[in-house]
Amino acid sequence: MAHGVEPLMPFDLSEATYMLPPPEFPMTTADLLARRGRQLEKRKEDLAAVHERVLAARYKSAADFEKRFAKTIKNKIYEPGALVMVRNSRIHMELNRKTKPKFLGPMVVLRRTKGGSYLLSDLNGAISKSRYAAFRLLPYFQRSNSSIPITRIVDLPDEDIDKAAEEIESLGAPDEVDVEDPDDDDE
């Protein structure tokens, strides 16, 4: 870990006996006893140094990951009133997925929850009982310049949205629920 030596046995982890550099062979009995004694010392400063190195390595690794994949990592936050399409993740493992819709919607964003999922409603104003994970949402781009009147949906009082969110939580709905295709005739 700190010196390039990994723990081999469970005892090595619990007692931190791996805190020495690799042994140099051949070793005398005195060298071996000195090495074992140092292993069992459990020096606090050694443990603190290892902790700092591991923590720094983790932060560096995370920064390198973000730098390497900066063009592919997208944290899109949708504002209330935005039109989105929902990826129909239920069909990904089905054999006849080519004939089913890949996206559902458009839907209107009502609110982003604390966990990062979204409460959505249909264009007719019906609030969905499911919460949708952010990775399932894509922005909806209209083909024409015609407007969709969504102000009455977005301008719902906060009490109504809170009530709908509480109903969803009381039902024990998970953060992400797969939506069934209403045109599915298999069932």
* Total count of domains within the chain: 2
Domain assignment present for 36: yes
pLDDT on residue 182: 45
| Residue % of the chain over a pLDDT of 70 | 71
**Domain annotation covers residue 52:** yes
In a domain, 177, yes or no: no
Q: Minimum mean pLDDT among 19-23, 125-129, 130-134: which range?
A: 19-23
pLDDT at 177 over 70: no
Q: How many alpha carbons fall within 13 Å on the CB side of residue 16?
A: 15
- Owning domain of residue 164: 83-170
Same domain, 54 and 88: no
**Is residue 2 in a domain?**
no
Residue 183 lies in a domain: no
Domain presence at residue 112: yes
Query: Which region, left, alpha or beta, applies to residue 118 given φ > 0 means left and ψ of -120 to 50 means alpha?
Result: beta
Q: Looking at the structure, do residues 114 and 159 belong to the same domain, yes or no?
A: yes
Q: What pLDDT, on a 0 to 100 scale, did the predictor assign at position 20?
A: 67
Give domain status of residue 20, yes or no.
yes
In contact, 78 and 29? CB cutoff 8 Å:
no
Average the pLDDT over each of 46-50, 112-116, 132-136, 143-147 and give the range with the smallest value: 143-147
Residue 62 included in any domain: yes
Low-confidence winner among 60-64, 75-79, 163-167 (lowest mean pLDDT): 163-167
